[in-house]
């Protein structure tokens, strides 16, 4: 076991051997194996944004097998997807890469109401498909947050009891939050803290901006002069907010953009002490070769 993996596992000493084993699998798999960094391929956009908006740019992505192949070829640490996509390849690619079953999902056909995803999978299904972890999205700030926090709590306890990890997508949204506030540094830091307090093993947030949303928070940032001017400063603050670095925090890639912008962002995450990235559209919407090349450049930055 690498010293990085060893150090990270030591943060989870209260967990069962089953959970530790799956955390080990994630940390040691792929091109970043043993570096203490993670690069995960998530493909839930077919459900969240629709098949056309997700896969028309690279139609091979309509096929569920494509994403298994992409994750494998690029040497990702894991592949995350909803029930349908995972079970359309779980047998064919059994054991070749750690899988994360995304247990809840939203769609873009319905609108209005406070945001809350539907539960679309279960711990039992994750076990059946041979997964290493479950994934769950919470929307802190939403009027339905309690429903999500409580569902997550139950799922996490059940997952832990069978040795599965829990990966939490913590995306502030709804309620009185402004659109800009969803990625504000105070809000993203808070979202990371909430996920950690709820017992998440791995926390996924969006890269934060320098905007501060809440007045009560602004006073604190000013009084204690917390540096949030650069991306790496903000990343460092978010990692600190997730138990001072004792929980794995990774960052999403967001909308499709050009390679230079992506790599610059990755460097910022790396410099701030982030544990890695989870990158969907910027990967599977490119042709396979381009995507693999890009993901390897990202890995190289993290491994440097």
Instruction: Give the footprint of its own copies on residues 30-69 (CB under 8 A).
Output: 46-47, 49-53, 56-57, 59, 62-65
Cβ-Cβ contacts under 8 Å for 247 (sequence gap 6 or more):
11, 192, 196, 200, 201, 202, 203
Q: Which is nearer to its own copies, 36 or 82 (by Cβ)?
A: 82
* 102 counts as catalytic: no
Q: What six digits make up the tokens of 96?
A: 């070749």
**Stretch (H or E) spanning 78:** strand 78-81
Q: Does 300 bind its own copies (CB under 8 A)?
A: no
Q: Does 125 bind its own copies (CB under 8 A)?
A: yes
**Beta-bridge partners for 166:** 134
What would you report as the CA-atom Rg of the chain, rounded to the nearest whole angstrom? 18
Stretch that binds its own copies, among 114-122, 262-270, 281-289, 295-303 (CB under 8 A): 114-122
Minimum distance from CB of 303 to its own copies (Å)? Answer: 27
Specify whether the CB–CB gap between 35 and 302 falls below 8 A: yes
Q: Which is nearer to its own copies, 43 or 291 (by Cβ)?
A: 43
With CB under 8 A as the rule, give the number of residues binding its own copies: 88
Q: What six digits make up the tokens of 29?
A: 């798999």
Question: Would you give the DSSP letter of residue 134?
Answer: E
Minimum distance from CB of 25 to its own copies (Å)? Answer: 20
CA distance 88 to 65: 7
In Å, how far are 40, 185, 287 from 147, measured between CA atoms?
Answer: 27, 25, 39
Specify whether the CB–CB gap between 60 and 70 falls below 8 A: no
Task: Count CB neighbours of 255 within 10 A.
Answer: 7
Q: What six digits make up the tokens of 168?
A: 């939490």
Stretch that binds its own copies, among 67-75, 123-131, 264-272, 292-300 (CB under 8 A): 123-131
Specify whether the CB–CB gap between 141 and 194 falls below 8 A: no
Question: Which residues within the stretch 147-186 sit at the binding site for its own copies (CB under 8 A)?
Answer: 149-150, 153, 157, 172, 174-177, 186
Question: Which residues within the stretch 196-215 sit at the binding site for its own copies (CB under 8 A)?
Answer: 196-200, 214
Q: Does 92 bind its own copies (CB under 8 A)?
A: yes
Q: Which is nearer to its own copies, 220 or 297 (by Cβ)?
A: 220
Q: Does 24 bind its own copies (CB under 8 A)?
A: no
How many CA atoms does the CB half-sphere of 278 hold within 13 Å?
Answer: 25
In Å, how far are 23, 74, 115, 203, 242 from 7, measured between CA atoms?
Answer: 12, 26, 37, 17, 16
User: Which residue's structure tokens are 């907010």?
Assistant: 241
Stretch that binds its own copies, among 20-28, 112-120, 250-258, 288-296 (CB under 8 A): 112-120
Kindly report the length of the chain: 304
Q: Which is nearer to its own copies, 3 or 244 (by Cβ)?
A: 244
Catalytic position from the list 37, 69, 102, 204: 204
Among 25, 96, 120, 303, binds its own copies (CB under 8 A): 120
CA distance 231 to 224: 19
Minimum distance from CB of 179 to its own copies (Å)? Answer: 15
Q: Does 115 bind its own copies (CB under 8 A)?
A: no
Minimum distance from CB of 301 to its own copies (Å)? Answer: 26
Among 1, 2, 6, 113, binds its own copies (CB under 8 A): 113
Q: Which is nearer to its own copies, 2 or 197 (by Cβ)?
A: 197
Among 3, 95, 223, 255, binds its own copies (CB under 8 A): 223
What are the residue numbers of the active site?
Answer: 204
């Amino acid at each position: 076991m690498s010293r990085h993996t060893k150090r990270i596992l030591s943060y989870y000493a209260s967990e069962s051997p089953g959970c530790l084993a799956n955390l080990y699998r994630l940390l040691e798999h792929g091109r970043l194996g043993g570096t203490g960094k993670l690069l995960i391929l998530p493909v839930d956009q077919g459900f969240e944004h629709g098949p056309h908006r997700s896969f028309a740019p690279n139609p091979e992505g309509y096929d569920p097998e494509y994403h298994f192949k992409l994750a494998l070829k690029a040497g990702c640490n894991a592949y995350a997807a909803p029930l349908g996509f995972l079970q359309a390849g779980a047998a064919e690619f059994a054991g070749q890469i750690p899988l994360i079953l995304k247990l809840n999902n939203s769609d873009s056909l319905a609108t209005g109401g406070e945001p809350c995803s539907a539960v679309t999978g279960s711990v039992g299904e994750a076990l059946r498909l041979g997964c290493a972890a479950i994934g769950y999205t919470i929307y802190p700030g939403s009027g339905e947050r309690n429903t999500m926090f409580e569902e997550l709590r139950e799922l996490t306890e059940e997952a832990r009891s069978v040795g599965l990890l829990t990966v939490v997508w913590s995306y502030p949204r709804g309620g009185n939050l402004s659109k800009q506030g969803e990625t504000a540094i105070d809000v993203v830091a808070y979202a990371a803290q909430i996920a950690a307090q709820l017992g998440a093993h791995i926390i996924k947030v969006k890269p934060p901006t320098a905007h501060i949303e809440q007045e009560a928070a602004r006073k604190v940032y000013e009084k204690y002069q917390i540096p949030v001017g650069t991306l790496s400063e903000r990343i460092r603050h978010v990692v600190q907010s997730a138990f001072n670095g004792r929980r794995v925090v990774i960052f999403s890639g967001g909308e499709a953009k050009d390679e230079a912008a992506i790599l610059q962002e990755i460097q910022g995450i790396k410099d701030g002490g982030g544990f890695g990235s989870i990158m969907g559209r910027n990967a599977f919407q490119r042709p396979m070769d381009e995507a693999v090349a890009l993901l390897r450049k990202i890995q190289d930055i993290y491994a440097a």
